[in-house]
Chain A
Amino acid sequence: DAKTTQPPSMDCAEGRAANLPCNHSTISGNEYVYWYRQIHSQGPQYIIHGLKNNETNEMASLIITEDRKSSTLILPHATLRDTAVYYCIPNPPGYGKLTFGQGTILTVHP
Chain B
Amino acid sequence: DAGVTQSPTHLIKTRGQQVTLRCSPKSGHDTVSWYQQALGQGPQFIFQYYEEEERQRGNFPDRFSGHQFPNYSSELNVNALLLGDSALYLCASSRGLALSDTQYFGPGTRLTVL
Which of A's residues lie within 8 Å of B, judged by CB? 32, 34, 36, 41-46, 49, 51, 85, 87, 93-103
Q: Are A98 and B45 touching (Cβ within 8 A)?
A: yes
Which of B's residues lie within 8 Å of A, judged by CB? 4, 31, 33, 35, 42-45, 48, 50, 55-56, 58, 88, 90, 92, 94, 96-108, 110
Q: Are A43 and B44 touching (Cβ within 8 A)?
A: no
A-side interface mostly: loop
Contacting residues, chain B, for A85 (C-beta < 8 A): 42
Contacting residues, chain A, for B100 (C-beta < 8 A): 32, 49, 51, 93-94
Q: Are B48 and A43 touching (Cβ within 8 A)?
A: no
Nearest CB of B to A74, in Å: 19
Known contacts A93-B99, A94-B99, A98-B45; A42/B55 CB under 8 A? no
Contacting residues, chain B, for A95 (C-beta < 8 A): 56
Q: Are B102 and A34 touching (Cβ within 8 A)?
A: yes
Known contacts A34-B102, A43-B105, A43-B108; A96/B56 CB under 8 A? yes
Contacting residues, chain A, for B97 (C-beta < 8 A): 94, 96
Bound-state CA distance A100–B56 (Å) is 16
Bound-state CA distance A36–B92 (Å) is 12
Q: CB within 8 A of A49: which of B42, B44, B102?
A: B102
Bound-state CA distance A90–B64 (Å) is 26
Q: Are A45 and B42 touching (Cβ within 8 A)?
A: no
Q: Are A103 and B94 touching (Cβ within 8 A)?
A: no
Contacting residues, chain A, for B48 (C-beta < 8 A): 96-97
